[in-house]
Chain A
């Protein structure tokens, strides 16, 4: 057995032991796996390399943290609740459109923050009572929240697995918006209609109205939405008018949006709200730090190259099968980990088969679906908690949308060359 394989098995073994047996946080389990790998490879404890690894995700950390601050501000200001109320009161006569729009609300925080946890905990918690009052049973509501959050996590503008895969091959995160929208929007629409539409043929608006806050929209009007408009305008303007507007970067755009949001809706204790937001964000950031260390040690010890070379040795059929099965399964550990550990070699192995950005986007989409995999199942477990069900019951209703989404991802991989116009 080659030394690289032994090192990789030790790293995985220590990580799994730490996470499942000793119940350590994912970040610490990954750091422990990285240290064990370095020791077995004869590198000692390479502190410099361990912290070098964490810097790979510095930009991502800043984006997630500031996006979380922004989401907290618009949630506390009442903008999300008002948007919910507007959509339900305007579209209750057309349940299919209503469901799709509610799905987009669930996705929104995930799109902005790149975190399915953020989507479930913020918009998911607001939309869930509405879905339940519309007559959708709790397990099915949980499934809509879980998959909606994952579609949001994978949707543009922020998709962290795509950033991780791109970072692994020095590919800038540019041109991903089209392919990611192509993958996630049909997936989200299919899921919400497939699971929810049969329960919503005849909606009773009077019943649903009880769960809506109709006053907040009347009190503050259109100005509630100004922070959202500001960030969309700044994001678009920086891309469209690079000669007029300097590239502000996503963190600064989110901070500007957050500052505006403090004055456009309900008054709230900003310091307390941001502190709470950071409390839920730190474990996600820690996980990225752990992934960074893990990948850095894999690179240092030659494990990463070993995996890449072995991936080249697979036939294309085996490779596609591994992408559809192993990548989402690795989500039981971490979907970010799947993107870094498996996404990068898979992308390298598929580089010649079509458009590289479309391939990276499809791989990131399939990786993101791993957030449904128990026991970690971040999106799924939080969604189940919100609707007050066991995750095993919720998971049952996620199976068909999950399979359809993976197959759609596979179709995109196979047709990436002809989908190159999306980039």
Chain B
């Protein structure tokens, strides 16, 4: 189950990062980055 959930996290992360890169507004990019950081930490099992 752990790996299934890590796959879900990775799946969501790809779309969020994609949106973050495509976003023109810097504030919204930072907003997305706030979401990306915990997802990356969870994906790497650091937290």
In the complex, A316 has a CB within 8 A of chain B? no
| Neighbouring B residues of A62 by C-beta, 8 Å | 5, 8-9, 12
Given A275-B15, A278-B15, are A251 and B5 neighbors across the interface (CB < 8 Å)?
A: yes
* CA–CA, A160 and B8, complex, Å: 20
Question: At the interface with chain B, which of A97-105, A282-290, A302-310, A375-383?
Answer: A282-290
* CA–CA, A296 and B1, complex, Å: 29
Contact between B38 and A55, CB atoms less than 8 A apart? yes
| Neighbouring B residues of A279 by C-beta, 8 Å | 19
Min Cβ gap B22→A in Å is 8
Min Cβ gap A139→B in Å is 30
Q: Which residue of B lies closest to A61 (CB)?
A: B35
Min Cβ gap A336→B in Å is 14
Min Cβ gap A295→B in Å is 14
In the complex, A189 has a CB within 8 A of chain B? no
Contact between B12 and A55, CB atoms less than 8 A apart? no
Q: Which residue of B lies closest to A284 (CB)?
A: B35
Given A25-B27, A283-B31, A286-B35, are A278 and B19 neighbors across the interface (CB < 8 Å)?
A: yes
Min Cβ gap B11→A in Å is 8
Min Cβ gap A59→B in Å is 10
Contact between B42 and A278, CB atoms less than 8 A apart? no
Q: List 26 A-B contacts (CB under 8 A).
A: A25-B28, A25-B31, A28-B34, A51-B38, A51-B47, A54-B34, A54-B37, A54-B38, A55-B38, A55-B42, A55-B47, A58-B38, A61-B39, A62-B9, A66-B8, A255-B8, A275-B19, A278-B15, A278-B16, A278-B19, A282-B20, A282-B31, A283-B31, A286-B31, A289-B34, A290-B34
* CA–CA, A55 and B38, complex, Å: 7
Chain B residues touching A, range: 20 to 34
| Neighbouring B residues of A65 by C-beta, 8 Å | 12
* CA–CA, A289 and B40, complex, Å: 14
Chain B residues with CB under 8 Å of chain A are 1, 4-5, 8-9, 11-12, 15-16, 18-20, 27-28, 30-32, 34-35, 37-39, 41-42, 47
Interface residues of A in 221-235 (CB under 8 A from B): none
Given A54-B37, A275-B19, A290-B34, are A252 and B28 neighbors across the interface (CB < 8 Å)?
A: no
Min Cβ gap B20→A in Å is 8
> Could you tell me how many residues of chain A have their Cβ less than 8 Å away from some Cβ of chain B?
28
Chain A residues with CB under 8 Å of chain B are 24-25, 27-28, 31, 51, 54-55, 58, 61-62, 65-66, 246, 249, 251-252, 255, 274-275, 278-279, 282-283, 285-286, 289-290
| Neighbouring A residues of B38 by C-beta, 8 Å | 51, 54-55, 58, 61, 289
* CA–CA, A54 and B37, complex, Å: 9
| Neighbouring B residues of A28 by C-beta, 8 Å | 27, 30-31, 34
Q: Which 6 A-B pairs have the closest CB atoms?
A: A286-B31, A278-B15, A289-B34, A54-B38, A285-B35, A65-B12
